[in-house]
């Protein structure tokens, strides 16, 4: 039988949204580079070779920007809530990990809501420390997270369930 104090009430892994898969990125960059070459040829024929060079720099800059975006997408956050502990961890794109442990009876969930845009930020407040949660999420996902966490924290505050 599992220990009721260690039974997870809520667990989730939050990741940044990326609308383009790596495969779609490679298809896009190939099509973009081909278009750049097609548009650069007339400039080369006219003798305006610097224009073609700058078009190549555009393609390189776009490639680098997407690669950096994909690297940043490796970051994530985890939440694990039991009746006696809330463990929140942020893992950066480079693999660096920072972890916080809160007592679910005393931690407060704080959200900032803009009347036009929705939930702008979510944070845990514990003993004067404010820790932002899901900063990379959109307003709708943040609102869903607040709803789920509020329910889970209420359940955790009831204590462990025996039997």
pLDDT in tens, 57-113: 999 999 999 988 888 888 999 999 999 999 999 999 888 999 999 999 999 999 999
pLDDT at 70: 87
User: Looking at the structure, do residues 58 and 125 belong to the same domain, yes or no?
Assistant: no
User: Looking at the structure, do residues 139 and 81 belong to the same domain, yes or no?
Assistant: yes
Q: Which of 72, 90, 110 corresponds to the end of one domain?
A: 72
Percentage of the chain surpassing pLDDT 90? 72
CA atoms within 13 A on the CB side of 45: 6
Cβ contact 77:135 at 8 Å: no
User: Looking at the structure, do residues 120 and 107 belong to the same domain, yes or no?
Assistant: yes
Per the structure, the complete domain to which residue 52 belongs is given by 22-72
Residue 116 contacts by C-beta under 8 Å, 6 or more apart in sequence? none
pLDDT at 163: 60
Q: In what order do the strands lie in the sheet with 97-102?
A: 10-14, 76-81, 86-91, 97-102
User: Looking at the structure, do residues 44 and 83 belong to the same domain, yes or no?
Assistant: no
User: Looking at the structure, do residues 140 and 85 belong to the same domain, yes or no?
Assistant: yes
Instruction: Answer yes or no: is pLDDT of 12 > 60.
Output: yes
Instruction: Answer yes or no: is pLDDT of 1 > 60.
Output: no
pLDDT at 4: 66
d(CA 145, CA 152): 10
User: Looking at the structure, do residues 125 and 84 belong to the same domain, yes or no?
Assistant: yes
> Is residue 4, in this structure, part of any structural domain at all?
no
The four Cα atoms 141, 147, 149, 151 give a dihedral, to 10 degrees, of -160
> Is residue 117, in this structure, part of any structural domain at all?
yes
Give the chain's domain count: 2
User: Looking at the structure, do residues 67 and 81 belong to the same domain, yes or no?
Assistant: no
CATH of the domain at 132: 2.30.29
> Is residue 162, in this structure, part of any structural domain at all?
no
């Amino acid at each position: 039988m599992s220990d009721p104090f260690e039974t997870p009430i809520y667990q989730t892994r939050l990741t940044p949204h990326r609308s383009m898969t790596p495969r779609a990125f490679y298809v896009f960059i190939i099509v973009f580079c081909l278009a750049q070459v097609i548009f650069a040829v007339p400039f080369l024929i006219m003798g305006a070779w610097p224009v073609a060079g700058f078009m190549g720099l555009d393609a390189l800059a776009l490639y680098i920007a997407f690669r950096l975006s994909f690297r940043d997408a490796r970051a994530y956050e985890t939440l694990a809530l039991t009746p006696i502990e809330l463990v929140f961890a942020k893992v950066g794109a480079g693999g660096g990990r920072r972890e916080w442990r809160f007592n679910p009876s005393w931690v407060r969930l704080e959200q900032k809501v803009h009347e036009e845009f929705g939930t702008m930020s979510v944070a845990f407040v514990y003993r004067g420390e404010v820790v932002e949660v899901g900063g990379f999420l959109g307003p709708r996902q943040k609102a869903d997270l607040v709803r789920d966490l509020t329910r889970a924290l209420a359940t955790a505050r009831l204590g462990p369930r025996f039997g």
